[in-house]
Amino acid sequence: MTGTEEATRKTGEAAIGLLRDNGVDVIFGIPGVHTVEFYRGLTTGGIRHVLTRHEQGAGFMADGYARASGRPGVCCVISGPGVTNIMTPMGQAYSDSVPMLVLASVIQSSDLGKGRGRLHEMTDQHAAAATVAGFSGTVLSPGELPDLMARAFTLFQSARPRPAYIEVPIDVLALPAAEGWKARPAAHAPAPDTGAVAEAARRLSAARHPVILTGGGAVDAAEPVRKLAETLGAMVVPTVAGKGVLPEDHPLCLGAFLPQELAQEQVAAADVVLALGSELAETDFWQDRFRFGGDLIRVDIDPHELSDEQPATLAILSDAAKAAEAILAQLEAQAPGSAPNGVAGEVSALQAKLREAEGPERQQHRRVLEVIRQALPRDAIVATDMTQIAYAGNEIFPVYQPRSWLHPVGFGTLGYAVPAAIGARLGAPNRPVAAIVGDYGFLYTAPELAVAVEQELPVVFLLWNNEELGAIRDSMERNGIQPTAITPRNPDFPALAKAFGLPAQTARSLAELGDQIAEALTRNGPSFIEIKANEM
């Protein structure tokens, strides 16, 4: 771009150029009358725009893109309803520490807070979005936008990755951007204090029964976690967000069974627990506050987590991968210790006990999930929704590398899986992708199937149809409430998928399901398979 062209660019166009300079290659969104100036910048190439069918779909696609790729997912939405629609995905990304950038328009700067009845007007749009953002800002002059953009990308790289929200009034979008808009170098994630690393290594080396907990913050620490576990002879227990950091067929990996009493007993009995990048939250253990019996060494990039209600014996402010590497280096520099023996046998015995304790419904889910697992390649990414078979999969579906099991853990939103799978395929185009969604949650974002068809994305959509809100039924029955409003009248799901242009089938047996997934994986576009729960 020449100096003259740069000087005449409008702010909306320059904003897209700045995204391009920051390495953004995909934007999810829906153009509107208040965002056309952003779209001026999208006509020059370099960024793929994905037209979604709802802003909620855009946000969940950005989430799936970010989780699968490790790069920020970016959305562009209109003021007012566009922002309120995307706040649900922002809340999910905030809860699960997913890097997402939302660029939004807002009414003219002279009208902000005036209540004049302008199109898409909100009393305080920025304040609403800020409730589900790690960082938010309003641009009141063109020169402020590069500063806010730099702050967002710095936070993505150097702090806990949460949604960044930047809104630009429609009059500012149309102003000249002037010159000098360049991407700025982002800071690196913090490294651990050397003294804390030495103390962590000392405690771990002396431990007789160490356990390593891997959270979502450890997804880029796979190799040091494996070496740490093998060096220490430590059992590894991932949270749902940390599935795959250690392959779940590794003999030291118990699996994501933290909600189960047997797994909790093992963690509580450990003399040292190394928790890498985890909130240690209610949704990890499914109890208000888990009590550790031994020392807790807590590594987190967020200082707030290191001072919360779960106190640590030793708190280390650091990127999880850097801390794991540093602790490993300390251990390797020491004289070889006497790592506990027989841990792999303990893991295997625990897994067998957990399986023996499964009830009929979990056993059914396991049979179906085993077929899905066998049919999918080892490196497949699976996006899941809030549905009973996915809850079972959180624990019993094995994954073998990080960024492979995408589940809306903390915020617990319905409608996540379909758009997240689309985003994941765009973020990791060389990996197979499938979605597991329930019959009720599917209808939240079903129109996004059209996006998979338009973009020619080979995603396998698996719909678990038990024709009820099963988890809500169970909750009502546990609390002595007559189950009410849990049996919706469903459409003909395969016919609906075909209307969007997908080849669609119904699996009525495990053998059919395996064959249909295998066939779907040969296609160059998306496929839809309904799984009839009552026939499995």
CATH number at residue 399: 3.40.50.970
Do 118 and 234 lie in a common domain?
no
Give first-to-last CA distance, the chain, whole Å.
60
Q: Is residue 270 in a domain? A: yes
C-alpha–C-alpha distance, residues 14 and 7, integer Å: 10
Buried b (16+ CB within 10 A) or exposed e, 215-243: bbbbbbbbebbbebbbbbbbbbbbbbbbb
Q: Is residue 341 in a domain? A: yes
Do 424 and 459 lie in a common domain?
yes
C-alpha–C-alpha distance, residues 167 and 79, integer Å: 8
Do 372 and 513 lie in a common domain?
yes
Do 119 and 260 lie in a common domain?
no
Q: Is residue 366 in a domain? A: yes
363 Cβ neighbours under 8 A, 6+ residues apart: none
Q: Which residue has the tokens 């930047």?
A: 166
Q: Is residue 187 in a domain? A: no
160 Cβ neighbours under 8 A, 6+ residues apart: 97, 134, 217, 301, 302
305 Cβ neighbours under 8 A, 6+ residues apart: 279, 298
Q: CA torsion angle for 4, 10, 12, 18 (degrees, to 10)?
A: 20
Which of 119, 139, 173 is a domain's end point? 173
Q: Is residue 362 in a domain? A: yes
Pairing of strands 26-29, 48-51: parallel
Q: Take residue 204 and report the two structure tokens written for it.
A: 């771990």
Q: Is residue 139 in a domain? A: yes
Which of 350, 380, 404 is a domain's end point? 350
Q: What is the CA radius of gyration of the chain?
A: 24
Pairing of strands 527-532, 504-507: parallel
Q: Is residue 343 in a domain? A: yes
348 Cβ neighbours under 8 A, 6+ residues apart: 251
pTM for this model (two decimals): 0.95
Do 292 and 371 lie in a common domain?
no
Q: Report the domain count for the chain.
A: 3
User: E strand or H helix at 202, and its extent?
Assistant: helix 194-206
Do 169 and 28 lie in a common domain?
yes
Q: What is the SS3 string spanning 51-95? A: ECCCHHHHHHHHHHHHHHHCCCEEEEECCCHHHHHHHHHHHHHHH
Answer yes or no: are the C-beta atoms of 380 and 287 closer than 8 Å. no
CA 274 to chain CA centroid, nearest Å: 22
Which of 298, 317, 350 is a domain's end point? 350
Name residues of the chain where pLDDT drops below 70: 1-7, 111, 335-341
Do 258 and 116 lie in a common domain?
no
Strand arrangement, sheet containing 295-300: 235-238, 210-214, 272-276, 295-300, 314-317
Answer yes or no: are the C-beta atoms of 278 and 160 closer than 8 Å. no
Q: Is residue 181 in a domain? A: no
Q: Which domain holds residue 264?
A: 194-350
pLDDT value of position 314: 97
